[in-house]
With several copies, the nearest count.
Chain A
Amino acid sequence: MLQTETRAGAKTSKKEPPHERYLEAFRWMLQTRIFEEKLTSLYRGGLITGGVYVGRGQEAVSTACGLFLQKGDVFGPLIRDQAGRAAAGEPLLNVTRTYLGSRQGSMRGRDGNIHRGWPETGQIAMISHLGSLIPVVVGKLMAKRMKGEKGFVGLTTIGEGGMQTGATHEGMNIASVEKVPFVLVASNNHFAYSTPNERQFACARLVDRAQAYGYEGHEVDGTNLADCLEVIGGAVERARKGGPPQLVVASLLRLAGHGEHDDASYVPAEIKKEPWAQDCVLATEQLVLENGWLDAATLKQWRAEISAEIEKAVETAQREAGPVGSEEDWCALSTRELVDVAGE
């Protein structure tokens, strides 16, 4: 499962990191890790309503998904994409507001947490039904082309479980029929909730789906930041330059429960020994220090800055009021005169 077609043969030079955006990416990973640990503790403390779903172990892939997107691009993040959302420009305060139920979050308490969007940087508010985001991203790209926009690309993510939905199939196929600049990054974290790969699909390699739709396919070790930047960044570039749709399949392990309510006791011990089961944040931090791309003091300072920002966001959000039912605008249509209330 692990051979990688376009791999960055991570050259760990003593002088500089293996990718020009390596340290920037590492900082997003670090921020995400610290932030999600904060979310988890808030959740354990009963301060969060609804679920908490973290991307622990997937920070390298997710960061790479968000990092190369530009103004005018389309991003469809999924439930493990805190890192990518941040790297693509969503402020920490908005996430925090959503989790803490502030009325000032982008979903205003109407929808929660991982479903949030951030239109300011082209981030779509996902619905739960896996695969449904794919055609929406494709449609946005079709529209941009019709409007005469140039140089844009669309990227969305999916899990190995979500790849088995009909929506994913129809969406992947229509993307290549419409020849839009599209990138799908699939993270095979080896579990769909509690379900292992063998009950999810039976092809030798998920990347074989690429050829089935006329995509270019790439495999990558999702725990190796340099490779993720190279492969995902490369895919984004190829799509942007007019290449066919791109499928990147990353191998890694979900290092948390499906959600924070789940102890993941179903994950067998052996799998944790797999090379792609390592913690990408720790691994990256180690490389960064060993190679002196960052000194311990700076790293310490980064952590301090990140924690401060998070504390500030939490304080702010906690001070803000939640929505109030009696004051809510109960109106599912934007065209008010067509609202039809009977029997409520």
Chain B
Amino acid sequence: MSVTYLEAIREAQAHLLREDDRVYLYGQDIAGKFGGAFKATKGLAEKFPGRVLNTPISEDAMVGTAIGAAMEGMRPIVEMQFADFSSIALNQILNNAGTQYWRTQQPCPITVRLPSGGTKGSGPFHSQSMEAIYSHYPGLVVMTPATVEDAYTMLIDAVAIDDPVIYCEHKYLYYHLKADALPKEKLPVGKARIVRPGRDLSIVTNSAMVHEALAVAQQLSGQGIEIEVVDLRTVKPLDTDTVLASVARTGRLLCVGETFPWGGVTAEVIARVSTEGFHLLDAAPARLNSKDTPIPYHPNLWETHRPNAKTIAAKARQILAE
């Protein structure tokens, strides 16, 4: 038996609904036989009557009600149909959920699931990676699971955390990624993972880009180049220590992200390494992001818009040549 990244998300929600009465799911088209635009809640409405609820097309109100319910001790999980539509809920997320604890000392334990990232033919409004925007504002935890195991354990972590969590699940990984079984153990929240040890260059990345980086690492390994791949797992908090330790080993840093370039995850990582680990760097750090244009619909364009194994490998060689 094997589990996909998507199934792991469904199983985590099933587990949470089973184990914790405070949990309910709230989103567009998640209930009934239908079970969500991506089937992430398939079968859950029947199994947990009254706890998997369809909503009107009202992202602001969806998150607003979750905040209210969380104040009353519930643990709502809100599904955005696509991360891109969370722009409508952004005010409630940043200004209400994100400020709640600091203003009132009352925690606001909501989880917002954002089906994120690009896939072929999805275009400008069904492909966005919004982790940078949510990390910029105070008061939120922002997760970007890159593996089946993390998809499962981090969603369970997200609901356990007493603060608002933005859980960015990557649509490209939904079916592509498989594991043999659900995980038995997990890393602590906020800890990055060394996915592959290396010697010559640290590639620090998150979400779907972890797999592009791994492909490059395997490929270059054949040519005597050993790349260390760091999966940030959560981008806020960001595990600077693990990143610095990796750069200390390799002396070289390439940050890869799928968000837009300006102020993206890669900018924050490079800012931290150069301010806190300047002397660990034997060469200029580098970054690679999606292009600074809307995300194209046509596959030919989309494949050029985001970083991929080819562009990452080229960049890696360039850094190693310095």
Contacts and interface: CB of A to CB of B under 8 A. Distances in A.
Interface of A: 49-51, 74, 101, 106-107, 109-113, 115, 117, 119, 124-125, 127-130, 132, 134-144, 146-147, 161-162, 164-167, 170-171, 173-174, 177-178, 192-195, 199-201, 265-266, 322-326, 328, 330-335, 337-344
Contacts of A193: 28-29, 34, 37
Interface string B68-101: 1111111010000000110110011001101101
A193 B262 CA distance: 35
Given A139-B67, A147-B73, A167 B91 contact: yes
Nearest to A50: B121
B61 A332 contact: no
A330 B293 contact: yes
B101 A144 contact: no
B101 A146 contact: no
- Closest CB pairs A-B (n = 9): A139-B68, A135-B64, A325-B304, A340-B237, A139-B65, A109-B298, A50-B121, A343-B261, A143-B72
Contacts of B129: none
B7 interface: no
Nearest to B139: A332
B296 interface: yes
Interface of B: 24, 28-29, 31-34, 37, 50, 53-74, 76, 84-85, 87-88, 91-92, 95-96, 98-99, 101-107, 120-126, 138-139, 141, 161-163, 189-190, 236-238, 240, 261-262, 264, 266-267, 271-272, 275-276, 287-294, 296-301, 303-305
B56 A140 contact: no
Contacts of B120: 49-50
B56 A332 contact: no
A332 B294 contact: yes
Contact of B163 (A51, A142, A338): A338
A266 B296 contact: no
Given A50-B122, A266-B34, A322 B298 contact: yes
Contact of B304 (A322, A326, A331, A339): A326
B125 A334 contact: no
B102 A344 contact: no
A344 B125 contact: no
19 contacts: A107-B103, A107-B104, A109-B301, A110-B103, A115-B103, A119-B106, A127-B124, A139-B67, A147-B73, A164-B56, A174-B61, A332-B139, A334-B107, A340-B190, A342-B238, A342-B240, A342-B276, A343-B261, A344-B289
Contact of A143 (B69, B88, B288, B296): B69
Contacts of B261: 341-344
Nearest to A154: B68
B291 A344 contact: yes
Contacts of B236: 340
Contacts of B68: 74, 124, 135-143
B92 to A, nearest CB: 6
A339 B37 CA distance: 34
Given A171-B60, A324-B300, A343-B287, 17 more contacts: A49-B298, A74-B68, A107-B297, A109-B297, A110-B298, A135-B64, A139-B76, A266-B33, A322-B300, A323-B301, A325-B304, A334-B163, A335-B141, A338-B163, A340-B292, A341-B292, A343-B262
